Chain A
């Protein structure tokens, strides 16, 4: 029974990981940028939320109302300035710049805040506690909420991309940047919009993680970036729902690993990642192997 509990926990954690990953996927899908600072930006979101909560005393659950738009704006600005400048200079420079950004953010957080862990907590909201099924299965409300949020975000993204005119433009630019220009589209602005969306989801992910667990300056890379990436690879590059599947597989693998040996939780997840990489590198949802 403890196993069933573990698997359910793993599935729900997959929602959190999918939330981590969708921003990374989006930026890669649209602009071919792998943002190595992705996880650190989530952590910034969490710290900003912490600051907002401390100052305004709003419940942790509502901090996203302020933080998400803030981070979205930051995303647009960062994309139009730093990242676009790097993109103009090539793939290598882009990777180096985002890596540099990651290091600067982490070191900056370490320097100006401290290395301690913080948690956003959930306050006295409805999501404290869990509900039980039988005697052995306990499902935390918070985790359920996060999973629901992840599904809503993915659904929202999917509808936005397929139905709205901005979504159509984003897909067009992702398909063929030059042809989009010939149709009167300023692709740099579209990139900015995509980055804003990505940063918004990343902020949400950071807040979610901050409520669920503890975060510190290094959480961005140790946990968020690497888990996001593992989820994307396992699920299949280029598929939003594949990312959810990948997150679930990763979460379940970790929980099973924890059942065997508590200390092996994270390693178990990575072993499954390596397995997928070895056996089916295109991911679980992709139809055929990519060369």
Chain B
């Protein structure tokens, strides 16, 4: 029909679609090395550092789950502490019935996934802001409910049985290894989900929900799946928390501060990327350590920095690194190479003369 925008015919072989600019196999190998080195930590470092690492694992796991919810599925939950608490209490319950907490952890995580289903059904019809508060109400209601039972500690809490027989250093080492396993598993799960069909559906929903529905994408199912996976992850982190603290107190495990920590870590690190939560968690730990003696200061600083980043550097620290170095360690987007660019290798720059056109799959507002 119109001659005006007729372009010279291009054959399909001239276009290439790849997952990343450089070979990702190097990243995979690098990650494996990092994991192996981390696994050796208990043999190398003092137990004080090992404990710190366990804390880091908890935060990294929580952050990557919150990132999955908010950065990819667009679900802002300020009630993830519900699953942190449930995970801890499931472990407590199982330990009271003679199951070792280490064995109880996976069961607790699954239990949280199961609990997430009716919870999702209750609140999924609410729109984003009200959905957020509803998650908070749910978490509070669950906490109030659990506090009624003195057998699991009531309002004051209870210590975790089943671990007193262990040698302290060994206990920390085992906790560490379980923590490492949980973290690696969480990150791998998120990565696999996003590269698979779920990731595609989530991007479609993010771009245009109505169009996504009408083209057959199971929007509700995808979102529920994400919510359940996040519940499992947070539950595992909660169980890990219980194991590392050896005590389960409702006020400590159900506090909304966990959501604050998760959310702020993700925002500062970089919403909508897999690397972001890791960086954000590290920043959080550093902040918490440095400002530890100043009571609530670290939360004030964390909150202010998060607000600042959300407004002015939306893609977070990792976004800044990404912009300058153009790397993705765990790529979930696509690169489109047009015929013009194939002849010009090397890093492209933003703006009109750019070679590869990158369709970034992660992140709602990148």
Contact = CB atoms under 8 A, between A and B. Distances in A.
Contacts of B264: 100, 103
B136 interface: yes
Nearest to A99: B78
Given A36-B129, A99-B132, A103-B302, 19 more contacts: A36-B132, A89-B311, A100-B306, A100-B307, A100-B310, A103-B264, A104-B307, A107-B303, A110-B295, A111-B297, A226-B136, A226-B140, A264-B148, A270-B137, A273-B141, A274-B122, A274-B138, A277-B122, A278-B121
Interface residues of A, number: 46
Interface in B291-308: 295-297, 299-300, 302-304, 306-307
A257 to B, nearest CB: 11
Determine the main DSSP class of A at the interface with B.
Answer: helix
A56 to B, nearest CB: 29
B15 interface: no
A95 B311 CA distance: 12
Contact of B263 (A99, A222, A266): A99
A267 B296 contact: no
Interface string B85-102: 000000000000000000
Contacts of B310: 86, 89, 93, 96-97, 100
Contacts of B263: 96, 99
A111 B314 contact: no
A99 B144 CA distance: 22
Nearest to A232: B130
A86 to B, nearest CB: 7
Interface in B144-177: 144-145, 147-148
Contacts, number: 131
Contacts of B303: 100-101, 103-104, 107
Interface string A25-46: 0001000111010000000000
Contacts of A148: none
Nearest to A108: B300
Interface in A203-231: 221-222, 225-226, 229-230
Contacts of A274: 122, 138, 141
B306 A96 contact: yes
A107 B132 contact: no
A267 B366 CA distance: 40
Given A89-B314, A91-B128, A95-B132, A278 B122 contact: yes
Contacts of A36: 78, 129, 132-133
A101 B304 CA distance: 8
A116 to B, nearest CB: 14
A12 B307 CA distance: 38
Interface of B: 70, 74, 76, 78, 121-123, 125-126, 128-130, 132-134, 136-138, 140-141, 144-145, 147-148, 256, 260, 263-264, 267, 271, 295-297, 299-300, 302-304, 306-307, 310-311, 314, 364-365
B321 to A, nearest CB: 21
B296 A111 contact: yes
B90 to A, nearest CB: 20
B137 A96 contact: no
A271 interface: yes
A85 interface: yes
B70 to A, nearest CB: 7
B190 to A, nearest CB: 18
Contacts of A273: 137, 141
A233 interface: yes
A218 to B, nearest CB: 9
A184 interface: no
Interface of A: 28, 32-34, 36, 82, 85-86, 89-97, 99-101, 103-104, 107-108, 110-111, 221-222, 225-226, 229-230, 232-233, 237, 263-264, 266-267, 270-271, 273-274, 277-278, 281
B364 A104 contact: no
Given A34-B133, A103-B303, A263-B148, A95 B141 contact: no
A89 to B, nearest CB: 7
A229 B311 contact: no
Contacts of A34: 128-130, 132-133
A99 B260 CA distance: 8
Contacts of B141: 267, 270-271, 273-274
B120 to A, nearest CB: 12
A28 B126 contact: no
User: Counting chain A CB atoms within 10 Å of each CB, which of B129, B271, B303 scores highest?
Assistant: B129
B141 to A, nearest CB: 4
Contacts of B365: 89-90, 92-93
A91 B133 CA distance: 14
Given A96-B306, A230-B137, A103 B132 contact: no
A224 to B, nearest CB: 12
Nearest to B128: A91
Nearest to B155: A263
Given A86-B311, A90-B364, A226-B140, A221 B256 contact: yes
Nearest to B138: A274
Contacts of B296: 107-108, 110-111
A277 B300 contact: no
25 contacts: A28-B130, A34-B132, A34-B133, A90-B364, A90-B365, A92-B365, A93-B310, A95-B129, A96-B307, A97-B307, A97-B311, A99-B263, A100-B306, A107-B297, A107-B300, A108-B296, A221-B256, A225-B133, A226-B137, A229-B130, A263-B148, A267-B141, A270-B137, A270-B140, A277-B123
A111 B300 CA distance: 9
A28 B311 contact: no
Contacts of A96: 76, 263, 267, 306-307, 310
Contacts of B306: 96, 100
A25 B311 CA distance: 24
